[in-house]
A and B are shown apart, each in its own frame.
Chain A
C-alpha cells in the first residue's frame, strides 16, 4: 500500500474523474444487470432432463393449466447474471465489516467444505436413527462444546436463529412458571436491548417494561431491585450489553431476580467477547442463546440461515423443546414425541420442523475444533483488543458516551458531529466511499446518533490502522465543514442513496410483466 498520511492522521485524498458516459450503460467492470425476468426466452432452460413418455397422470384432476411466468435462461446466462449482481455487494471477504452486534468475522472455507460431505449433506432427517449415528454424534459433540464453554448444564439445539433461540428460552421460562402454578405477567427489558427481545417476550404473552440504565451504560441495579416483584416473570439482558460493556453487576442482578422468584434470560449475541474468559453458568443466568452465525462464524449469507442453540439451567432444562438427542448404549437416539419412554412430558413443544440447523452445527463445530479451547479464548481476547484499539485510536476525535475499556465493540454517539451539519447517517455513507462497511447506526437507542463499531477478531493491525486513519480523516472533514462529501455520499458505490420513502409509499415488491399497451410502444 502506498497511501500517505496527512497531518490530521487521515489518508491523503485521491480525486478520480467521473469519466465519459458509456454507450452500454456499463462502467467497466461495473455492469448494469437487468433482472432475470427481463432476460432469456420462455422456452429456454438451463437444465437437461430426461424425456418423459406419455402416461396417465394421477393428479386427481388438479394438473397445472398454463405456464408459471418464470423466465428461461441457459446456464451461462444464469451464471453471468449472479456473478454480475454479486459484485454489487460488500462482503467480509472483501473488506472490514464492523457492523456492531453482528460479529462479521472471517468465514473459514473448511467449514463450507465439510458441510458438503455427502455423509452429512445427503442425510435425511427421518431416516432410521441407526443409519444416522454420525449426525447424532455430531449434534451431541457440539452440545458438549457449548455446555462446556458456557458452564451450563443443558442445551436446546433446535432453534433456527437468535430470535428463535430467545423464543425458546422465554418459552422455557413461561413453562417453568406455569409448572410452579404462577402466572406472572411482566418481563423487564432494558431500552438498549435488541428489538427481538421485546418482540419475543410479547409472543410469550408477557407485557414488556423497560429497565433503566445508569450513567455508566449499565443496568441501574437499584431501580431493578425496586421493580422486581411477584408479577415479574423474568429479566432479559444482553451481556456484554449493546453498548459494548460488560454488565459488572450481573451476579447481583441474577441474585435479585432469583430472590424475587423470576428467571434470568441472557441474550448471548455478544458471547464472542467472553468465550473462554467467563462462563455464563458462573454468572447465575437461567438461559442464553448462542448465535452460531455470529460467535462461531457460520456465514451470514446475506440474511441467514442462522442457528440459535439455547443453554439452560437445571431449573429450565426439563422444559426444553423436542426433539433432542440422548445417548443410549453405545449410540445416540432422538426423542421426538411425548410417546417416547425417555420423555417426561414437560417439554413445551416443538419449535421447527426436524431437528435443528444441522448445516450450521457442522460449520460451527468445525470452527470450534479448529480454534480449540486456546484459540477460542484468544479469539475473544483479540476481539476485545481490536475494539479497544479502535476506541483508543478514535476517542479524541469521536464522542465516547461511556468511557473506559469496552468489550468486543465500541459505542460512539454523535456529539462530536454537533453543529457540523453531518449526521451519523452521512458519516456512515461516507465510510462506504472509503471502502469499508458502515458500523451499526442509531442502535442502541440509549445514546443519540449511536455508532456501534465491532471490528471482530479477524482484523489485522494493519487493517485497523487503516480504518482508524480513514475515520480520523472523515471526522476532520466534518469538522472542517466539508459537508458535500457527506451529504452526497456514497459516490463510489454501485448505487447512490436510495429513496426509501418512495419504496414504502408505493411498494413494488415483485416484478410484473409490462402492461401490453406499454410493451407495444
Chain B
C-alpha cells in the first residue's frame, strides 16, 4: 500500500519507492466539470517544484497542473489523453496524469495527508 499525499493545488501523489504517481483530486475534477482535454508532459522532462507540468481543460476552464515535487517524468498516462472523461470518472485512480522519479524525498514531508487535505477542502467551502 503506497502513501498518498496532497497539495494545496489539489494534486495527489501516490508514493511507491522513489516514484510518485500524480493526478488531480476528486474535488478538483468536480470544480472543473467535464474534463475535455489533458496535455501531458514528455517522458524524460525534468521539473522543479511548482513548475507547470500538465494542463487540464474543461469546456469553460483550463487549469495548470504543477509538479508537486521536483523530479523527472518516467511515465505518462495515455488513457487520460485519449479519454479525458477518465479524470472525472476515476480522478484518484485510473485518471492519474504522470509518474515522477522523486528528486528529493524530503519534499514529501511538506505535503498534506488525507486528513489534512480533507480539512483543507472543508475550509474552502
Contacts and interface: CB of A to CB of B under 8 A. Distances in A.
Tell me if chains A and B make direct contact, with any CB pair below 8 A.
Answer: yes
Interface string A303-316: 00000000000000
B37 interface: yes
Interface residues of A, number: 5
A442 B61 CA distance: 12
A500 interface: yes
Contacts of B36: 501, 504-505
Interface in B7-59: 34, 36-37, 57-59
B85 interface: yes
B95 interface: no
B71 interface: no
B68 interface: no
Contacts of A505: 34, 36-37, 84-85
Contacts of A442: 60
Contacts of B84: 505
A442 B59 CA distance: 14
* Secondary structure class of chain B's binding surface, majority of residues: mixed
Contacts, number: 15
A416 B34 CA distance: 26
Nearest to B59: A500
A215 B70 CA distance: 40
A241 to B, nearest CB: 23
Contacts of A500: 59
A483 B58 CA distance: 25
Interface string B77-103: 000000011000000000000000000
Interface string A435-460: 00000001000000000000000000
A202 to B, nearest CB: 15
Contacts of B58: 501
Nearest to A501: B34
Interface string A491-516: 00000000011001100000000000
B64 to A, nearest CB: 15
Contacts of B34: 501, 505
Nearest to A442: B60
A44 to B, nearest CB: 39
A501 B57 CA distance: 11
Contacts of B57: 504
Contacts of B60: 442
Nearest to B88: A501
Interface of B: 34, 36-37, 57-60, 84-85
15 contacts: A442-B60, A500-B59, A501-B34, A501-B36, A501-B58, A501-B59, A504-B36, A504-B37, A504-B57, A504-B59, A505-B34, A505-B36, A505-B37, A505-B84, A505-B85
Per CB-CB distance, the 6 closest pairs between chain A and chain B, nearest first, are A504-B36, A501-B34, A500-B59, A505-B36, A504-B59, A501-B59
